[in-house]
């Protein structure tokens, strides 16, 4: 997949705009893992071996699939939603029409898709594992006597969450709304949740939880 991405011609002049690429960044992370890991493990296997056994990036077992809660669609007023003014946006958000935006089908509920390793959009886990993995980015954990050291040092986290996108610049791939990303590809939400101070990061995406 990374070879296909590498062979593509950019849709815009590099360093002139910024665009959210929800699928590509996951494949890039997976490629980095395969190159530096001595065992050349896949993204899914590396995460389950090194971080959490209940954190899946592809599900190949029926007993695990049976525990997956479905993603539900909420009917909302979309009259004030930003419009997409380019085919690039539509192709990116719909996976080149593999998941049409206007379709009533919730593609991420499909068992076949759950088997596919799409690192940035196909993680499936339970609430405890999700909370644990996020917290390990910012601090040590002592859970039921089992201690785990934080994944990132304080200085590394500061560098990773430094905004590298121009202030108020529209994201060409995300309904032309402004988005902020850090060096570590974390999405920065300091402006949205300023009560927590600078460097707030996360992502608001589809969530599939294991029962």
Count Cβ neighbours within 10 Å for each residue of 60-92 and write b for 16 or more, e otherwise: eeeeeeeebeeeeeeeeeeeeeeebeeeebeeb
Q: What is the pLDDT of residue 184?
A: 73
DSSP 133: H
Check whether 191 has a pLDDT greater than 70.
no
The mean per-residue pLDDT over the stretch 54-68 comes to 88
Contacts of 190 (CB under 8 A, 6+ apart): 163, 180, 196, 197, 198, 199, 200
Backbone angles phi, psi at 146, to 5 degrees: -95, 120
Q: Which of 12-21, 34-43, 76-85, 196-205 has the lowest mean pLDDT?
A: 76-85
Q: What is the pLDDT of residue 36?
A: 94
57 and 122 Cβ atoms separated by less than 8 Å = yes
Query: Could you give the domains of the chain?
Result: 2-202 (3.40.710.10)
Contacts of 107 (CB under 8 A, 6+ apart): 98, 99, 113
Check whether 207 has a pLDDT greater than 60.
no
% of the chain residues with pLDDT over 90:
17
Tokens of 137: 């980015």
């Amino acid at each position: 997949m990374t070879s296909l991405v590498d062979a593509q011609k950019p849709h815009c002049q590099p360093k002139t705009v910024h665009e959210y690429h929800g699928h590509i960044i996951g494949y890039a992370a997976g490629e980095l893992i395969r190159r530096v890991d001595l065992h050349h493990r896949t993204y899914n296997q590396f995460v389950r071996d090194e971080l959490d056994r209940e954190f899946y990036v592809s599900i190949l077992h029926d007993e695990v699939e049976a525990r997956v809660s479905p993603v539900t669609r909420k009917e909302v007023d979309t009259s004030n939603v930003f419009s997409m003014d380019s085919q690039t946006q539509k192709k990116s958000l719909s996976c080149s029409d593999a998941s049409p935006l206007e379709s009533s089908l919730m593609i991420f509920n499909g068992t076949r898709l759950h088997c596919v390793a799409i690192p940035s959009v196909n993680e499936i886990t339970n609430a405890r594992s999700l909370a644990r993995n996020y917290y390990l980015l910012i601090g040590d954990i002592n859970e039921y006597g089992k201690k785990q050291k934080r994944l990132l040092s304080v200085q590394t986290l500061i560098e990773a969450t430094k905004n590298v996108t121009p202030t108020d610049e529209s994201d060409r791939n995300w309904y032309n709304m402004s988005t902020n990303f850090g060096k570590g590809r974390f999405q920065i939400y300091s402006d949205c949740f300023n009560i927590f101070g600078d460097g707030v990061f996360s992502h608001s995406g589809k969530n599939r939880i294991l029962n």
